[in-house]
A and B are shown apart, each in its own frame.
Chain A
Amino acid sequence: MLVRLAAERATGALLRDHGTLYLVDGRVVHAESPAAPGMDVLLTTAGRLPREGWDEAVDRAGAHRAVGRFLVDSGRLGDGELEICHLGAVFDAAFFALSPTSGPTRFRYGVGHWFGTVRPVSAEAVERETLRRRELLDAVWPYASVDTAPVVPRPAAPHQGVGARRRALLAAADGVRTPAELARHLGRPAFHTLLDVRRLAAAGLVETPLDAAPDAAPAPPAPAFPPVPPVSDPDIALLRRLRDALEAHL
């Protein structure tokens, strides 16, 4: 759907279960997701902007959809800072907004975002980056259970390096906060925090909850063939190869 909207140079908001993408002329200008800290969190948590400075910018420029521009023009942020922070936030939110979901996808033509346009990105680049990020997470540690569970640190082995950023993450992990909550707490992008948590899991530095059992498969339809007599010693390797071959064809 995103590709089609980009092709027709659509302007509006793409609403999905886990977030919203805003397009202007088919290019992505903004994204937001409940799972990802917004620009306000990123800028105020580290003390780059006082909360009042942000609120004032929204009050004065929100109606004109030019909050980003206002932050620069009023001397609160540099152009480079605005672009770095905003791009980071857009790709972060887009990662969650474009996550696979069974929910509906809707597009509201003409709807814009009050933050305004900073540095539009092609929809294709956003989609490609989102896929790359999903693969990167799985390449680091292929079990998604750590993404949503509270982060519980484990002791490091002697001389095991952790790195300053992950040390700060572990220090904030109180055994209750989830990766999304830690991201908000530290004022970091949520994807970066997920990635760090997966890296910590791979290094054995956080507890790794067992993956929830996959959803029970729906009851199979009545067999079209007469039932096969029970086999006492199934050839597991053969069955696996058979399954892989079938999946490759489907």
Chain B
Amino acid sequence: MPGIDECLTEAMTLPGARGAWLVDWNSGLALGTAGESPVGDHETTAAETAELARAAAEFDSFTVGAEGPEGDTGEPPVEDLIVTTRAGYHVLRFVRTSFDSSVFLHLWLDRDTGNLALARIRLGDLAERLVLG
């Protein structure tokens, strides 16, 4: 069972990976970081991506009708967020926990060497394994 560091290390083995984070979107706290940050400071990146993730997780237009089964509060309605730029890809994957939390994995990929489709699938897999008891 991987812990946070193993999970981020594994994410960094994906082709084109430049940085990886585990972030709490409610507070903006970086629980773990790996690689480099686009702005040279992991905590700034975490706080900024947290704002983006929070908007997606909270706006009803994205979440209504997408909640998990009744009473399953741990199921995030949004699965992932993808931001593409001229220079790279950012994949944010919400992590499901069976206690109250608000965390997501963030992987930053180089545009030329990254594989967006592969990264999205593998990040989803990592997010699941991270919390499997």
Give A residues with C-beta under 8 Å from B: 42-43, 45-48, 72, 75-85, 87-88, 91, 119, 128-129, 132-133, 136, 161-166, 168, 186-189, 191-192, 195-196
Contacts and interface: CB of A to CB of B under 8 A. Distances in A.
B43 A46 contact: no
B81 interface: no
Interface stretch (B13-21, B57-65, B84-92, B112-120): B57-65
Nearest to A44: B99
Interface of B: 1-4, 6-7, 22, 24, 26-29, 31-32, 43, 47, 57-60, 63, 67, 73-74, 77, 95, 97-103, 129-133
Given A79-B2, A188-B100, A192-B26, A165 B58 contact: yes
Most buried by B among A75, A76, A88, A119: A88
Main secondary structure of the interface of A (DSSP, over half): helix
Contact of B59 (A45, A88, A161): A161
A136 B50 CA distance: 13
B76 to A, nearest CB: 10
B132 A78 contact: yes
Main secondary structure of the interface of B (DSSP, over half): loop
Contact of B131 (A78, A132, A133): A78
8 contacts: A47-B98, A78-B131, A88-B101, A91-B27, A161-B58, A163-B57, A186-B100, A187-B100
Contacts of B4: 80, 83-84, 87, 119
A48 B103 contact: no
A163 B59 contact: yes
B57 to A, nearest CB: 8
A128 B1 contact: no
B31 A161 contact: no
Contacts of B101: 84-85, 88
Nearest 8 interchain pairs by C-beta: A163-B58, A80-B130, A79-B3, A48-B99, A46-B99, A78-B133, A48-B98, A78-B1
A80 B26 contact: no
A164 B99 contact: no
Contact of B7 (A42, A80, A136, A162): A80
Nearest to B103: A84
Nearest to B129: A80
B98 to A, nearest CB: 5
B100 A42 contact: yes
A133 B58 CA distance: 20
Contact of A45 (B57, B74, B100, B132): B100
Contacts of B3: 79-80, 82-83, 119
Given A46-B74, A78-B133, A165 B103 contact: no
